[in-house]
Chain A
């Protein structure tokens, strides 16, 4: 049996091969070859349906980093199978559509390579059992989506959209990684299977809630939930097949997948319930409310996707209520929300992809997708119109389309959840159906906009770039298949329910599945239940509001454009850049003195602070060697000389006073019985003085410091503090002699090295390595000086070199 791991790798392999194949094969469109891959994968996965439906699951292991517990392990169960079939199935249709949609002049090899990269990454996300591996694929989807959004990279808006999508999804992904690491450190495992087994022991762990929030942040950003939804409308700059595939059926579902996957881990928490349900419903409302306002068909579809994703998200959230008390016959009813969510997920993938393809056909055909310029296309594009109608009515929740069934089940769920007496639902629970209902009304309105404003009404040929005409057959095949699916699912929903959703429910509620059958029989007609009245209400109010749209459209103008989340995002980006610029320019002044001041202030705070903090200020001068009068004389002369340099009026004075200090040091070396040092010091001091004097002629005039008095006093204060700390540290160190010097060893220099001068023996024998490198320092300095003086790059020469 071929393992699922191999299945994930096939698209990656294809992505690597496509550029080579593209060069070789020029006769046939490269997309035809690519098309084979998702078809094969789809068939392969479809073959698993019977065994998965009978309760089997498959675990495949490939060792990757076993020492860290990170292995490329994949798990095939009901939940991942649903997503796998959507990814490969819609993928095949999208590739078929893109063969006709994209021009031969486009860089097709890039397009299909990115698309295959994305497909492989997406399959990796849903089949990974190891959360770290899941994260790897998760970021790969972000990257390939980034590449696909900016496919037409010559356009500024494409690049902006891609950047926004990447920034938002990657920050979410990053927080998700933090959450995963927390889960790993709580449970000691990265495998879903093992985590689900042992997580009940860790509900009280202090990292449990932070891990949950971080993982949710990742899911919300990826699935375009409020307020992270803003990247999805901007991502509409991508080619339409990409929008149809990534931004309606696959990538945006990754967050939903994650929430469903983590429900058995975090689902029992009240925070999980309210966050997922609440954010889902808010997203649903905000998406549908904003969609009505859009004039661009793709933007409208983007907001409708946001809204539908919010709806599915809220259903997953509501289903987690069942986990609060564990299994009981009463709580099983709440799991049905997840069933409805999965059902709607499949439905959404079918009708939304079809709608995107329809919009692509319109855009391709007449050269615009602005609703204000469209109208009356129905007579010119009958097939496209039919598909658009099927898709829109399904999205609006009308029979005989699959959206009706899932919308009804959604209403059932929100009505059920109101009955629950936990999570303070008795006070807030009534809000849920109300928000859901209002959002559904707006959903109905924008669905009508798609159909009636685009296809019916007045045909405005003069405002179109090309006259309207029906699309080529090849372009219509994929949306037709999806449109047929929409209707087929309506008439035979239970096939889907029994074979796909029931096994997926077993993955979400493993403890419940052991006790009872989680399946429900979906029926199109279940009598005059409250949910049916809600749907009728949606239709009535929706029609009324749609007809009166131009009268109340003014409410959108109440909220100024600058108050949108988009402008907030832009403002944050802009302000961050401006402020970091300001901060950097504030402290990176370019003045050497300022940087030295920072360094000295840090020195003063750290060294002085440590001295005071550790109480090391302990002096003892009893052990000092006696001081000769001559020492006093030299020391005082040097101090006076040093201070006098500051006040020196001319260069010559300064140089000579520097010499006084140097020769003073040499005299001290004599007094302290260091003949070699005294010799070297006096020679070096002489040479340095000579050097200064040689440079005398070339060096600038010794000017008086013209700094302001304040700067000078700050400098003086810093200098005195540095000097004081230096002295205190030195005195404190001398107080604490810890052990004897090792120098007595070097006194054997005659026996060991045949040398009578101990200092020289150390330099050339015991520690000869130092001396060798010191010679190299001199050599480098010499070469440096030579280069500085001899080689002078003129500007003209530089240009010559660059040529």
Chain B
């Protein structure tokens, strides 16, 4: 199970990297979103996927519970990732509106060519 999810995360990382290297702003944002999915899956996997019950104390089954700490970390990360994605989406929208392009090559600010 761990190996399967690790490889799945690897596929996501590959796709995300490919997107980050592309020219269009929207693809880059999509790349960051996919990258954060991969990161979340990895945090989960690193905590160990050995059997256990839902970390709720009043559940029917009493222990052993699955590791709760990675879940808390991921929860924090999801929210931050969402905030960043939302902000960059709006930023991309504003950039497009102001400059009329979403091509990163055309958005270069280098005057010394």
Contacts and interface: CB of A to CB of B under 8 A. Distances in A.
Interface of A: 581, 585, 588-593, 596-597, 600, 621, 624-627, 631-632, 635, 638-639, 642-643, 645-646, 651, 654, 658, 661-662, 665, 668-669, 672-677, 680-681, 684, 687-688, 691-692, 695, 698-700, 702-703, 705-707, 715-716, 718-720, 722-724, 726-727, 730-731, 733-734, 737, 741-743, 746-747, 749-750, 755-759, 762-763, 767, 770-771, 774, 777-778, 780-782, 784-785, 788-789
Nearest to A679: B75
Given A591-B105, A625-B2, A665-B41, A688 B17 contact: no
Contact of A590 (B13, B87, B110): B110
A668 B69 contact: no
B112 to A, nearest CB: 6
B6 A731 contact: yes
Contacts of A730: 6, 9-10, 42, 45-46
A755 to B, nearest CB: 8
A146 B60 CA distance: 84
Contacts of A651: 26
A718 B55 contact: no
Contact of B76 (A635, A665, A742, A774): A774
Q: Chain A binding site: helix, strand, loop or mixed by DSSP?
A: helix
A654 B30 CA distance: 9
B89 to A, nearest CB: 6
A681 B78 contact: yes
Given A632-B4, A715-B21, A757-B56, A723 B13 contact: yes
Given A684-B79, A695-B89, A719-B15, A677 B74 contact: yes
Interface in B1-16: 1-15
Given A661-B12, A672-B66, A718 B82 contact: no
B5, B52, B56, B68: which has the most chain A beta carbons within 10 Å?
B68
A406 B1 CA distance: 94
B53 A680 contact: no
Contact of A727 (B10, B24, B49, B56): B10
Contacts of B21: 593, 596-597, 600, 715, 718-719
Contacts of B20: 596
A737 B45 CA distance: 13
Listed from nearest, the 6 A-B pairs whose CB atoms lie closest are A590-B110, A723-B14, A781-B83, A727-B10, A590-B108, A625-B1
Contact of A758 (B55, B75, B86): B55
B12 A638 contact: yes
16 contacts: A593-B104, A621-B2, A626-B1, A635-B8, A651-B26, A661-B34, A699-B93, A703-B24, A723-B11, A726-B13, A726-B38, A734-B6, A755-B57, A762-B68, A777-B80, A785-B86
A585 B111 CA distance: 10
Contacts of B49: 624-625, 672
B63 to A, nearest CB: 7
A705 B22 contact: yes
Contacts of A681: 40, 78
B12 A722 contact: no
Interface string B71-113: 1101110111111111101111110110001101100111011
The listed residue with most A CB atoms (<10 A of its CB), out of B65, B75, B89, is: B75
Given A631-B4, A635-B5, A638-B12, A589 B110 contact: yes
Given A635-B4, A688-B33, A688-B82, A759 B15 contact: no
Contacts of A743: 47, 65, 67-69
Contact of B50 (A625, A677, A757): A625
B3 to A, nearest CB: 5
Given A676-B75, A734-B2, A742 B69 contact: yes
Contacts of A643: 11, 15
Given A680-B79, A750-B57, A592 B5 contact: no
B71 A674 contact: yes
B13 A722 contact: yes
B44 A642 contact: no
A691 B68 CA distance: 30
Given A661-B12, A691-B85, A698-B97, 12 more contacts: A624-B1, A645-B15, A665-B37, A677-B78, A747-B63, A747-B65, A767-B72, A770-B72, A778-B83, A780-B83, A788-B87, A788-B94
B26 to A, nearest CB: 6
A358 to B, nearest CB: 51
Contacts of B13: 722-723, 726
Contacts of B8: 635, 638-639
B24 A692 contact: no
B108 A680 contact: no
A757 B55 contact: yes
A763 B49 CA distance: 21
Contacts of A759: 55, 68, 71-72, 75
Contacts of A699: 26, 92-93, 96, 102
A730 B46 CA distance: 8
A635 B72 CA distance: 23
B110 A588 contact: yes
Contacts of B33: 658, 662, 688
B99 to A, nearest CB: 10
A680 B75 contact: yes
A593 B23 contact: yes
